[in-house]
Amino acid sequence: MANLSASKSVRASSNRPVIAVFSLFLVAAVACSDGVVSPEARKSNKEPAPEPTPTSPAEPTPTPTPTTEPAPSTTGNPLLGATFYVNPNSKAKQTAEAWRLTRPADAQQMDKIATQSVASWLGNWNVNIQTDANNQTTAITAAGALPVFVAYNIPQRDCGGLSGGGGATPDAYKTWITGLANGIGARKAVVILEPDALANMGCLSAADQQTRLDLFRFAISTLRAKGQIFVYLDAGHSNWMSPATISDRLIRAGIEFANGFSLNISNFGYTSSNTSYGEAVSSRVGGKHFIIDTSRNGLGPTSDWQWCNPPGRAIGNRPGTVTNHALIDAYLWIKVPGESDGACNGYPSSGTWMPEYALGLAQRG
């Protein structure tokens, strides 16, 4: 379920009044679109094969240098009490305003989506990742919110599948991650690392799997070295990998040095199912905390776990850090409710805004 690469309606804007001039700056920094690019191919089943045995930059992005691994992260909730950014110019907001006079009841339903925070996706569509990350972090922080970014650019991302793409080479990915880290700098932000990349890596050769794990470790080290970037490694969802298998991959990817892991990105699994799954994974990875994408899981999955624009779904728990669970740092909307997962079930290509589909999600949630 990825959205917007070169063929995916790419948006390189943020998802995210003092004086008039600052207001204009802030709006300009975030008004282009939702600034969100969500993945389309959230796998609903086990891997098909077993894993083999072991715009012009304001300033150039520096060449990455080797980093040492940081100290293991603490297990507390670094997000507790955070305010998440609500984009006043999101597609949901624009749709709600367009419907306000002619379809007032539908506009009110659309407000359920328009008033919530959604993560901002960053990938190879960002012409200059350092500049884009800096601009978004500046705008969101100025609004008093905590930026939530999804890094979605790892090489061989989907082994040629619907979410194919990502950094061209491992070195290019290291440069990209370094630019992302430098763009955020010493400010607070959440970075969710590479949806699907660990759960789906069984499609790679043993050598390429090790490369992917090494890139995760590089990314964690580079981001955490900035001091206030909270890093979560994506771990698929409750109906994909066994807790033992994904835990092994998380450990080899360096989960010890991250803040935790993420679950259910762009999928539809119940919060309760992912909570139980997350508990099982956490117990195997040193008690790490996790976050759950609740953007479209209000009615759970279809009986056959369709991942691509399934009918009859609903928005779920609203974003926030009050989860009433010691291990869950936040419920977040990571996928944009109402953006297509891909050209399936009669819907358009991934990343395309589908107002009527979004309306259905809101009405049922």
Catalytic residues: 158, 196, 341
N-term to C-term CA, the chain: 21
User: Amino acid identity of 334?
Assistant: I
The owner of tokens 């450990």 is: 251
Residues 272, 276, 282, 287, Cα dihedral to 10°:
80
SS3 332: strand
Contact between 274 and 244 (Cβ < 8 Å): no
- Can you tell me which residue has the tokens 């440069």? 175
Length of the chain: 365
Of 295, 298, 304, the closest CA to residue 239 belongs to 304
Beta-strand relationship, 328-332 and 260-263: unpaired
Give the pair of three-digit tokens for residue 152. Answer: 């979605």
